[in-house]
Amino acid sequence: MKKHRYGLWAVIIIVILVIGGAFWFTSSKKSAKSTTKPTIKIATAGTIFPNAFQQNHKLTGYDVDVAKAVAKAEGYKTKFTVTDFDGIFGQVDSGRVDTVANDIGATPERKQKYIFSTPYNNETTNIAAKKGTSYKNLKDFEGKTVATSGAGNNFITSLQKYDSKIKIKVYETRDQATQALITGRVDGLLYSRSTLSAIIKKQNLNWHVVNGNAGQALVAYPFKNDANGKKLRKVFNKGLAKIKKNGTLNKISNKYFGYDITNEIK
């Protein structure tokens, strides 16, 4: 009789352990799942200093750091995809990525197709030339050639509207465009004033940014105009507001540009 009783208790204990183990396993899975951060997928060409570039085999830059800070502020992880600039918006269109961190101007043309976050930079369209040359103003480049990179960048559009007599040679990367002016294959370099200043400072070049600009564009993160895009734009806007308020945006802009970019965003 006692053996029967002991056997019954053994069965009960085993059942309790099995049920308890199953409950613990299920709870652990739920807990692990609940702590997994959602991921924002971001495309970049990774070739434009100081916005998005490779340093010691690591992707870095103003636009990259801002995106990471925004995502962190809202409890998201980031996953970057490096791709050619010419097809970068196709990544957004296909849903392979959620947005782009690549010095993207929120131009009227782009706003017809994409929705944009709150601006995190404001860039004018400028040209740099070697010191000692006759280039003082934008109009001095009429009939001359300036270099830039990325066939779809907004600096090209702005300069063409400003003065179609200035020739533009488009290179695949910013480094190639910069080298074209260094070696004298072109007469000027076309980008924003902040980018040109950063290039001149980093490489200690005897250049100057000529007077005047051909326009300006607020820089923001583009999203596909659908439910997911609207959701992530809201996430980015909240994150950008947080890092602007707590000084993180100012810290990042000083790191790459040497001044507080928040004063330039209107």
Q: Residue 224, Cα to own-chain centre: how many angstroms?
A: 15
Tell me which architecture the domain covering 39-121+220-263 has in CATH.
3-Layer(aba) Sandwich (3.40)
C-alpha span between 9 and 179 (Å, rounded): 83
Q: What is the pLDDT of residue 33?
A: 47
**Do you find a cis peptide bond into 108, omega within 30 degrees of 0?**
no
Q: What is the pTM of this model?
A: 0.72
Beta-bridge mates of residue 52? 48
188 contacts 146 by C-beta, under 8 angstroms: yes
The residue extents of the domains of the chain are 39-121+220-263, 126-214
Name the class of domain 126-214.
alpha beta
Provide the residue-wise pLDDT of the chain in tens; the chain has 266 residues: 544 555 555 555 554 554 555 455 455 555 444 468 899 999 999 988 889 999 998 999 999 999 999 999 999 999 999 999 889 999 999 999 999 999 898 988 899 999 999 999 988 899 999 999 999 999 999 999 999 998 767 899 999 999 999 999 999 888 999 999 999 999 999 998 888 988 998 899 999 999 999 988 899 999 999 999 999 999 999 999 999 999 999 999 888 887 787 776 76
Name the nearest CA neighbour of 100 among 112, 117, 113. 117
C-alpha span between 49 and 6 (Å, rounded): 76
C-alpha span between 40 and 163 (Å, rounded): 39
C-alpha span between 127 and 138 (Å, rounded): 7
Fold match, 39-121+220-263 / 126-214: yes
